[in-house]
């Protein structure tokens, strides 16, 4: 990894007033979760049109649950050192929040507190009838699980391909984006809308963009590009920030 890029990123974050992170599938790869779109990914084996839409779920929830069971295995995954480094940065005051496209809950598991889950989370189930929500753990004795209030089938509280992002989530993300003066973009190729516009919006408002990707994609938009893995880069950045902690 490029030392100069790490040092430059550390300096920018230390100077920043309201730094945030924007993470994607690449952040979870080192936790053993393959990118859904990769060669071994879920959407190559399950056609997203057939399995990934709320229309398909309503029509045949049992069939979609056969795929969801595999997806929910993700909730067994553990955070990697990159997640832990981000949680430490928040604790030290060098990170105000995270917007993630991931649905695995690993940022919270690592201790991050201010997290906007743009595409929802597998840690929660929601009733397609009455909207009541349940914690996933402890609700899966029967597949597909049913709502205790109205007996309709529950679905993971994640955004399906043909569903809009919930308004409250958009608003929480907007609040973060509007305050941010720096964004660390990590493990995402920024090609899923509307999440993809986040670095651009922060840049256009005069903020700094730091990109961390094995194959960087934000050419021109990023002030610093760190070519490397999520965990490796975050560990280096956190260790650099350690010296800048207030009160030291």
Tokens of 240: 């650099």
72 touching Zn ion, by CB under 5 A: no
Q: Considering the complex, what minimum distance in angstroms separates the CB of residue 230 from Zn ion?
A: 37
Residue number, 132 or 244, with CB nearest to Zn ion: 132
Q: Is 127 in the site for Zn ion (CB under 5 A)?
A: yes
The strand pair at 182-186 and 19-23 is best described as parallel
- Point out which span in 55-63, 123-131, 171-179, 210-218 binds Zn ion (CB under 5 A): 123-131
Cβ neighbours of 35 (radius 10 Å): 18
- How many CB atoms within 10 Å of residue 84? 20
- Residues 181-220 close enough to bind Zn ion by CB under 5 A: none
Compare residues 22 and 65 and give the one whose CB is closer to Zn ion: 65
| C-alpha closest to that of 200 among 214, 216, 220 | 220
Question: Judged by CB under 5 A, which of 150, 178, 205, 239 binds Zn ion?
Answer: 150
Quick one: which of 116, 120, 117, 130 has its CA closest to 160? Answer: 120
For residues 13, 14, 18 and 22, what is the CA-based torsion angle, rounded to 10 degrees? 20
CB contact at 8 A, 241 and 89: yes
HSE-up (13 A, CA, CB side) for residue 69: 12
Q: Which of 83, 107, 119, 244 is catalytic?
A: 119
Question: Which one, of 131, 163, 124, lies nearest residue 147 by Cα?
Answer: 131
Please report how close the Cβ of residue 139 comes to Zn ion at its closest, in angstroms.
Answer: 12
Q: Give the integer Cα–Cα distance in Å for 127 and 153.
A: 6
Contact between 1 and Zn ion by CB under 5 A: the answer reads: no
Using left for φ > 0, alpha for ψ between -120 and 50, and beta otherwise, residue 247 falls in left
Nearer to Zn ion, 127 or 209 (CB): 127
Q: Could you tell me which stretch among 17-25, 56-64, 113-121, 147-155 binds Zn ion (CB under 5 A)? A: 147-155
- Residue closer to Zn ion (CB basis): 147 or 231: 147
Q: Is 149 in the site for Zn ion (CB under 5 A)?
A: yes
Assess 111 for contact with Zn ion (CB under 5 A): no
Q: Which stretch binds Zn ion (CB under 5 A): 48-56, 130-138, 163-171, 219-227?
A: 130-138
119 in active site: yes
Rule CB under 5 A: say whether 130 interacts with Zn ion: yes
Identified binder of Zn ion from the candidate list 41, 81, 129, 216, rule CB under 5 A: 129
Member of 86, 95, 99, 147 binding Zn ion (CB under 5 A): 147
DSSP classification of residue 153: B
**Residue 148 in contact with Zn ion, rule: CB under 5 A:** no
Binding site for Zn ion (CB under 5 A): 127, 129-130, 132, 147, 149-150, 152
Q: Cite the active site residues.
A: 119
């Amino acid at each position: 990894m490029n030392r100069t890029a790490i040092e430059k990123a550390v300096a920018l974050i230390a100077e920043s007033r309201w730094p945030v992170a924007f993470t994607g599938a690449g952040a979870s790869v080192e936790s053993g979760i393959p990118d859904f779109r990769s060669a071994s990914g879920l959407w190559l084996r399950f056609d997203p049109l057939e399995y990934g839409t709320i229309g398909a779920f309503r029509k045949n929830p049992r069939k979609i649950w056969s795929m969801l069971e595999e997806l929910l295995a993700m909730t067994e995954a553990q955070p990697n050192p990159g997640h832990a480094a981000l949680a430490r940065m928040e604790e030290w005051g060098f990170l105000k929040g995270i917007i993630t496209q991931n649905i695995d809950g690993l940022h919270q598991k690592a201790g991050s507190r201010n997290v906007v889950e743009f595409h929802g989370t597998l840690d929660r189930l929601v009733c397609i009838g009455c909207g009541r929500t349940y914690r996933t753990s402890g609700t899966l004795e029967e597949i597909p699980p049913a709502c205790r209030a109205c007996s309709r089938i529950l679905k993971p509280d994640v955004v399906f391909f043909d569903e809009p992002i919930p308004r409250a989530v958009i608003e929480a993300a907007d609040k973060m984006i509007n305050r941010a003066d720096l964004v660390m973009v990590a493990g995402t190729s920024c090609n899923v809308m509307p999440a993809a516009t986040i670095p651009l919006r922060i840049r256009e408002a005069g903020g700094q963009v730091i990109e961390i990707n094995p194959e960087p994609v934000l050419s021109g938009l990023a002030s610093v590009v760190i070519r490397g893995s999520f965990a490796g880069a975050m560990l280096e950045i956190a260790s650099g920030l350690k010296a800048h902690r207030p009160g030291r």
